[in-house]
């Protein structure tokens, strides 16, 4: 565990120390931690204001904390990271189960660490040679259905495609329980 990260660095949690001023002008940058079936952000976000390549709008939770960002035309992940002092901005694509961002897309910026997050590239414990593409396509389909509030489509995609792709049935059970409960808020974050 890093207690004192040293001159010129700031501790971002989970054993991660990052240079101060990354992105430029950010003395206390945030770091997005993704691993296994979890996602968290090291600190609350601060909006430094709309700018070139990051002109979209924010969404907040009940406490007024920034949790989402609606992509504007011409936006880029690096600039979004700079706007909110997120040092590892490219990780936002992984968090949101996408390879590219599109205008109008609502990105999750600050995940609720109490809600499981479904890995984008392959499930936890995937063996060597795991067929990642079918898994990734099913996760992308689940994400699109979640954002369309289409619980029936999510149940179908899960049953027909995604459930069998988890090496550990307990991981698939986490999704099955959220589907059974019809908890779209939870499912939207799981498949941000």
Split at pLDDT 50, 70, 90, the class of 1 is very low
What's the CA angle centered on 163, arms 161 and 165, to 5 degrees? 75
Q: What token pair was written down for 168?
A: 């550990």
Peptide bond preceding 23: is omega within 30 degrees of 0, i.e. cis? yes
The 10s digit of each residue's pLDDT in 32-67 is 999 889 999 999 999 999 999 999 999 999 999 999
Chain-centroid distance, C-alpha 177: 20
Nearest to 86 by CA among 166, 159, 12: 12
Question: Are 67 and 86 in contact, with CB atoms under 8 Å apart?
Answer: no
Domain ranges of the chain: 9-108, 132-190
The three-point CA angle 66-87-171 to 5° equals 70
Convert the pLDDT of each residue in 131-140 to its tens digit. Answer: 899 999 999 9
Return the number of other C-beta atoms located less than 10 Å from residue 162's C-beta.
22
**Tokens coding 73:** 């035309």
pLDDT in tens, 126-184: 999 998 999 999 999 999 999 899 999 999 999 999 999 999 999 999 999 999 999 99
Give the Cα-Cα-Cα angle 76, 82, 88 (nearest 5 degrees). 85
């Amino acid at each position: 565990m890093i207690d004192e990260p040293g001159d010129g660095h700031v501790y971002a949690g989970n054993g991660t120390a990052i240079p101060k001023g990354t992105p430029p002008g950010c003395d206390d940058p945030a770091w997005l931690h993704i691993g296994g079936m979890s996602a968290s952000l090291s600190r609350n976000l601060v909006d430094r204001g709309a700018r070139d390549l990051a002109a979209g709008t924010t969404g907040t939770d009940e406490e007024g904390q920034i949790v989402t960002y609606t992509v504007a035309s011409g936006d880029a992940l690096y600039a979004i990271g700079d706007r909110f002092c997120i040092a590892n901005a490219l990780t936002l694509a992984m968090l949101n189960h996408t390879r590219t961002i599109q205008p109008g897309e609502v990105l999750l910026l600050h995940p609720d660490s109490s809600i499981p997050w479904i890995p984008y590239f392959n499930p936890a414990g995937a063996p060597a040679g795991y067929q990642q593409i079918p898994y990734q396509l099913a996760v992308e389909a689940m994400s699109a259905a979640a954002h369309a509030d289409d619980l029936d489509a999510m149940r179908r995609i899960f049953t027909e495609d995604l459930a069998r792709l988890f090496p550990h049935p307990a991981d698939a059970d986490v999704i099955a329980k959220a589907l059974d409960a019809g908890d779209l808020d939870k499912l939207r974050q799981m498949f941000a």
